[in-house]
Amino acid sequence: MPATTLPEELRADVETLWRYNQMDHPVRPVDVGIGLGGHDPGVATYAAHLYHRGVFPLIVFTGANAPTTVERFPRGEAVHFREHAHGLGVPDSAILVEPAARHTPDNIGFTRALLADRGIAIASAMLISRPYQQRRSYAICRKQWPELDVICGSQPMPLQEYIDSIGDVDRVITMLVGDTQRIWVYPQQGRAIEQDVPTDVMAAYTRLVDAGFTGRLLPAQQPDAPLAGSSWPIPTAFRGT
């Protein structure tokens, strides 16, 4: 059975990346909530909660499957999220499903196409995701859909409580490290806007990579220089703050 307790020697670095990857946008009314697929059904739970609060009148759940979700959500992430939200009282008429996206750039692009095909014009949206996916999804959306007024949101909970809800501390750290790397790799690929990476975030990321949490890292993309002790790139947007 996977461990769920965050080792004390890793806590400070994991907390640093956890805080950095959340945008802390205030919740406010928007035209649509976009629930990004993944292994965490808390996305659908929080989308349903916000719908019932009147934050948005329509939800789009987007996502096919990844290797980490196919067993848990055999009918696809978006389909299972829709079923979960429906079980929490969200009517079918308030939910659209985009079942083909396999990564976050597709989540954004395919959702935009789905809404256009349905003749639904929107000016604002909330991206609802895993807590550590906020910064990456925001950067991708700003690049692909620059005219959209976008905010990010996740089910609010402390780090250890989130780890307990997932049930695997190594998985959470591995995903968190991978999402952090994408903050600078995706702009190199033209998939996202650049964002500043503070020195403490870069240092925490480096230590966690060196500790072996590399399972979700992308290959180096035209690195400026390797990180100490590894082959992973430093970010082009890196600035000390």
User: 204: number of CA atoms within 13 Å, CB side?
Assistant: 23
Q: Is the model's pTM score more than 0.85? A: yes
Q: Is residue 29 part of a domain?
A: yes
Percent of the chain, pLDDT > 70?
91
Q: Please state, in angstroms and rounded to a whole number, the distance separating the CA atoms of residues 134 and 34.
A: 12
Which of 44, 50, 29 is CA-nearest to residue 124?
Answer: 29
- Domain range for residue 84? 8-211
CB 116 within 8 A of CB 109: no
Give the CATH number of the domain where residue 125 resides.
3.40.50.620
Q: In what order do the strands lie in the sheet with 95-98?
A: 95-98, 59-62, 32-36, 124-128, 149-153
Structure tokens at 39: 């292994």
Across the chain, what does the average pLDDT equal?
91
- Is the four-CA dihedral 25, 28, 29, 33 of positive or negative sign? positive
Q: Is residue 216 part of a domain?
A: no
Q: Please state, in angstroms and rounded to a whole number, the distance separating the CA atoms of residues 199 and 209.
A: 15
CB 235 within 8 A of CB 197: yes
At 220 the pLDDT is 63
* 49-85: burial string, b at 16+ Cβ within 10 Å, e else: bbbeeebbebbbbbbbbeeebeeebeebbbbbbbbbb
| Digit-coded pLDDT (tens) for 149-199 | 999 999 999 999 999 999 999 999 999 999 999 999 999 999 999 999 999
Q: What's the average model confidence in pLDDT over 225-241?
A: 40
Q: Please state, in angstroms and rounded to a whole number, the distance separating the CA atoms of residues 68 and 222.
A: 28
Q: Please state, in angstroms and rounded to a whole number, the distance separating the CA atoms of residues 171 and 39.
A: 11
| Digit-coded pLDDT (tens) for 115-145 | 999 999 999 999 999 999 999 999 999 999 9
Q: Is residue 222 part of a domain?
A: no
Range name among 10-14, 49-53, 74-78, 182-186 with the lowest pLDDT average:
74-78
Domain tally for the chain?
1
Q: Is residue 220 part of a domain?
A: no
Q: Is residue 219 part of a domain?
A: no
Q: Is residue 2 part of a domain?
A: no
Q: Which residues pair with 153 in a beta bridge?
A: 128
% helix, strand, coil for the chain, step of 5: 45, 10, 45
Q: Is residue 196 part of a domain?
A: yes
Give 72 or 37, the one with higher predicted confidence. Answer: 37
Residues in the chain: 241
Q: Please state, in angstroms and rounded to a whole number, the distance separating the CA atoms of residues 221 and 73.
A: 31
Q: How confident is the model at residue 73 (pLDDT cuts 50, 70, 90)?
A: confident
Q: Is residue 41 part of a domain?
A: yes
